Structure 1
Amino acid sequence: MVKEQFRETDVAKKISHICFGMKSAEQMRQQAHIQVVSKNLYSQDTSHTPLPYGVLDHRMGTSEKDRPCETCGKNLADCLGHYGYLDLEMPCFHVGYFKAIIGILQMICKTCSHIMLTKEEKLQFMDVLKRPGLAYLQKRGMKKKISDKCRKRTMCLNCSTLNGPVKKCGLLKILHEKYKTTKKVVDTVVSDFLNSFDIAIEHNKEVEGLLNRAQENLSPLVVLNLFRRIPAEDIPLLLMNPEAGKPADLILTRLLVPPLCIRPSVISDLKSGTNEDDLTMKLTEIIFLNDVIKKHRMSGAKTQMIMEDWDFLQLQCALYINSELSGIPLNMAPKKWTRGFVQRLKGKQGRFRGNLSGKRVDFSGRTVISPDPNLRIDEVAVPVHVAKILTYPEKVNKANLEMLRKLVRSGPEVHPGANFIQQRHTQMKRFLKYGNREKMAQELRFGDVVERHMIDGDIVLFNRQPSLHKLSIMAHIVSALWGFCVMYIGVV
C-alpha cells in the first residue's frame, strides 16, 4: 500500500487532557472478569488443562493459537485479554508509592488523621491551590511548604495528641518516633509513658536504656485505617486529587491479575510441560502465601508466625512490581531473579524505549553511506545492495507504465529493478524472483503498486547513527550508490 500523507479528519470530540491516577479496590473488581483463588495452574488429570479460577484461567484471554478466549470467543490475534483480581489476606505497602505514603504520614496526625495545620493555614493554602493553571513546580513548592509546617508541629490541633517524626526503617517498614525525648522539657505524655515502665525497670534494668528509643510500628493495616479516616476537605492539602485516587488507594488490598497474552505459557520441547512467565509464578506465590496466612489465622497460630508470613507476602507483592529491590534480608531473598513490571517498562530493552520508541518499521534500513567531493550538498550515496532491498511503492499510471514494466522485467536481482507487485483489487503481493516476469509486466494495470528498487533522484530521510532524535534527520537525494559512514536511511 502506498504511503499517504496524514490528514486530520473532522472529529466530533478532541481529548482535552489525560489524568493519571490510582485504581481503588472497587474499580479493580469492576474491571476484572474473574476472581483468582487457586494457587495450582493445571488440573491434576492427564488433560493438562488450566484450572478454573487459577492464574491461567482462559477467561482472562488466551496465549495459544488453537484455543480461543472463553470470555469473548476470539483467537490469539484478536483478543486483547481480560483482567482478573485477587484479594490479599492482609494489606501491603505498594513499593512504588512507599515514599508518598511516608510523605502523607508526616503531614497527618497519627491518631485522628487530621492534617497538622491551623484553620487559618488551611484557608491560606487552599486559596493558592484553587488558582487555575498552577504549574507543576509551583505545586511541588506548595507541598514542601505544607509538609515543613506539619512536621514542625508536635501536638495535633484536633485531638491534642503527641506526634513525632515518621521514618523508614529497613525494607518496607515505617516507624513513628512518638516518645523520642530529645528536648530539654519532657512532655507530660512522654513522662507518663516513661513512668508506666517503673515496675518493669525494677525487675529488669536493661529496659531503662531502651526507653529513649521507644517507637510505634506503623504496619500497613494501621496506615490503611489512618488513610481511610482522612477528612475529604484535607485531601487537596495533601496535593492529591480525590477523583484520581484517595490516600487509602496507596495501600494494596487487592491485586489486578494481568491478561494471559502479556504472560504467555511457552510449551517446552525438551521437557513434556510448559515454561511459565515470571509474573505467573509470582502470582502463584502470592496466592500460596494468602492461603498460609488464612490457615494460620484460623488455627490461632502465634502472632510472630503470622507477622513473618505477612512480611513475606509484602516482599512478594513488592517483587511482583519491582524485582530489583535493595536491602532484602538473606533469609527472604529470592533464589532466582525474575522480571517485575518495572523491569518490563524501564531501560533500553523496556516497553517505552525498546518497543514504542524504537520500533522496527517498513521502508527503512541501516547502511554505510559516504561523503564524496563529487556529490552535490543535497545528495547522499547509498550502496547497491541496500538499494535493492529498500523499495519504494510506486503506483502505476499513464506516465510511468513503461518504466515500471522495464523494472518488473529486471526483477529483484538486477539494479534498477523491482521486488513485488500488488494488484489493484487483491491484497496479495507477488514476489518477482519467481514466475514469468515478462507476463507480469504485460499484465500491469493502472492502480497496481510496484515496489521498485531505490534509484537516483529518490528522496530519502537520513540520520547519522547514534543520534536518533528528530532534529538530526535530513532529507537528501539518492545518488552514486556506494558508501562508508554508518547511517540510518528511510524512503519518504
Structure 2
Amino acid sequence: MQSESSVTLRKIKRVQFGILGPDEIKRMSVTVPPHSDGIMYPESTENGKPKLGGIMDPRQGVSDRFSRCQTCAGNMNDCPGHFGHIELAKPVFHVGFFNKSLRILRCICFYCSKVLVDKNNPKMQSILARTAGTPKKKDNGEPTDENKKPSHGGCVMEIFKNISDEEIEILGMDCKYARPEWMIISVLPVAPLCVRPSVVMGGSGLRCQDDVTHKYSDIIKVNTELRRNEASGAAAHILEQGVLELQFHVATMMDNTLPGLPRAMQKSGRPLKSISERLKAKEGRVRGNLMGKRVDFSALGVPRSIASNLTYPEIVTPFNIDHLQRLVEHWRAYRSALSSKAIRSPSPNRLQGRAAHSRQRCDYFQPTAYSAQDVYDGSLGESSPVVYFSIELVRHNSL
C-alpha cells in the first residue's frame, strides 16, 4: 500500500531519547495567551461549558462527541489531543529522575557546580576518549562525600544550571537533548483530554473526572495557594509545607506506588491510578492494549529480514525429508540454507553447505540429521524468556 504523504522517506538510523525542557514544553503547549498562560483554574466547567484555562480546557481536545476542538477543529475521532502546561510556583523533583539527580549531586561541588575529578588525570582522559560519542549503558561511579545537602528542587535546579556544557559531557550527558536542570520540573506538562476522558454518570448528565484530572486539580490548588503565600510574605515553614504538598501531588500523579510515600486516595478510599500504572505491567497500555494475546486472530507479521535470522533445529526423518527438500529448493523462503546455515549429521563432519545448487544440497539430507531452519509463513513463535505475546507468521508476501 502506497502512502499518500509527500514527505521524503528515509531509512531510520537511530532513535534519540531526550528530556523535555521547560521552553520546549511551553512551545508544544496550546494553553497560551491571550486566553490564559497555562492551566490556572482547578474547575473543569463554567456555565455548563468547558472553561478556558481550566483542567478540561477545550483547546486540549474534546470530551464528548458533540464538541469540536478549539485548536484543530476536529471531533472526538479526528482530534489527536494537545498538551497544555502548568507554571509551578516552585520547582519540584521528577520522581523518574530522582536517583539520577542524586548521583549527579554526588559528583559535583554544590558551590561552584564543578565535577569533583581532575580532568588532567590520565585515567580520566582515557575514559573520556574511550566513551566520547558512545551512548551511556550503565553507571559504575562511587559516591563521594556530601558537603552540603540541597533541601528542595529549586536549590538543586540552581546548582544544575551552573554546570557548564563541558562538565555535562564529562557526566555522560548530551547538553543538546538532556541538561541536568531539565530533570527538575518547573513547568509541568498537562496531558490531552483524550488521555484522561471524563465519563457521564447515568442519565443525570453529571461527569466523573479521571484520576489524573483530579491530581491536576490538586496540583493547581496547592500551586495557587503557594504562589499567594509567597506574594504575601508568609513564614518560611508555611512556604516549605506548601512545597512539600506540591511535590507530593506531582509525584503521586506520575507514580502512586512509590515506597515510603503514602498513596493518594479518592474520597471513597480507592487509590488513584497514576500515569506510570497505566503504562507498565501486564495490564498497561503496551502489554495490555498494544501487544497480541495468545488467542486466535491476534497474529503479528514479522519482517523478512528478521525472519531470516530466526532459526530453530529440526530433525530430518523419513516423514519430513520431502518437506525439508522442498524448503531448500524454494530459495526465497529458505535462502539461508544455501549460504551460511549449517546442516549437521550424526557424523563428526559438519557440512558447511557450499554447494552451488539446491538439489546438490538436498543430497546431504539424511534421516536423524539436523537442519538450522528459518521460520517461514505459518510458523508459530513466542518471545522468551518471559512470554509476553505470541507471533504467528501470517501467509503474506512479506511475512
TM surpasses 0.5 = yes
Work out the percentage of aligned pairs sharing the same amino acid.
Answer: 28
SS at match of 1:86: strand
1:71 counterpart residue number:
71
Look up the equivalent residue of 2:19 and give its one-letter code: M
Q: Residue 361 of structure 1: CA displacement?
A: 9.5
Residue 40 of structure 1 aligns to which amino acid in structure 2? E
Could you give the per-residue CA deviations for residues 351-386 of structure 1, whole angstroms, max 9, x where no partner exists? Answer: 110112137999459xxxxxxxxxx98xxxxxxxxx
2:39–2:54 contact (8 Å) kept in structure 1:
yes
Aligned to 1:156: none
- Matched with 1:356 is 290
User: Which residue matches 1:222?
Assistant: 155
* Deviation by residue 1:97-119 (Cα, 9 ceiling, x = unmatched): 00000000000001100001113
In 2, the alpha carbon distance for the partners of 1:37 and 1:56 equals 11
With normalisation by structure 1, the TM-score equals 0.57
What is the deviation of 1:299?
2.0
What's the TM-score once normalised by structure 2's chain length? 0.69
Q: 1:359 to 1:20 in 2, by over 3 A?
A: farther
Matched-pair contact (CA < 8 Å) for 1:22–1:250: yes
Instruction: Pick closer, same or farther for the CA change 1:74–1:361 going to 2, 3 Å.
Output: farther
Amino acid across the alignment from 1:114 = K
Which structure has the larger Rg?
Answer: 1
Residue ranges of structure 1 left out of the alignment (5+ in a row): 5-9, 152-163, 166-177, 179-214, 366-375, 378-458, 477-491
The 10-residue stretch of structure 1 (56-65 or 296-305) with the greater mean CA deviation from structure 2: 296-305
Q: Residue 41 of structure 1 corresponds to which residue in structure 2?
A: 44
What value does the CA root-mean-square deviation take over the aligned residues?
3.3
Aligned position for 1:25 = 22
Q: 1:60 aligns to what?
A: 60
CA 1:271–1:303 in structure 2 vs 1: closer, same or farther (change >3 Å)? farther
Q: Which runs of 5+ in 2 are unaligned?
A: 2-6, 32-37, 300-318, 321-376
Q: Name 1:327's counterpart in structure 2.
A: 260
- The alpha-carbon deviation at position 216 of structure 1 amounts to 3.8
Partner Cα distance (1:290, 1:89) in 2:
6
Contact 1:125 1:237 (8 Å CA) reproduced: no
Task: Say if 2:94 and 2:185, in contact at 8 Å, map to a contact too.
Answer: yes
Counterpart in the other structure of 1:347 = 281
> Does the C-alpha gap of structure 1 residues 364 and 250 become closer, same or farther in structure 2, counting only changes over 3 Å?
closer
Alpha-carbon distance, 1:232 to partner: 1.1
Say whether residues 1:314 and 2:247 are aligned partners.
yes
Residue 126 of structure 1 deviates from its aligned partner by 2.1
- 2-side partners of 1:319 and 1:312: how far apart? 11
SS in 2 for 1:295: helix
Deviation of the 1:85 alpha carbon: 0.6
More strand by share: 1
| CA contact 1:62–1:69 (8 Å) conserved in 2 | yes
Secondary structure of 2:259's aligned partner: coil
Aligned residue pair count: 307
Provide the residue aligned with 2:130 in structure 1.
128
One-letter code aligned to 1:343:
E
Deviation of 1:468 (Å): 6.1
- Residue 217 to residue 29, structure 1, CA distance change in 2 (3 Å): closer
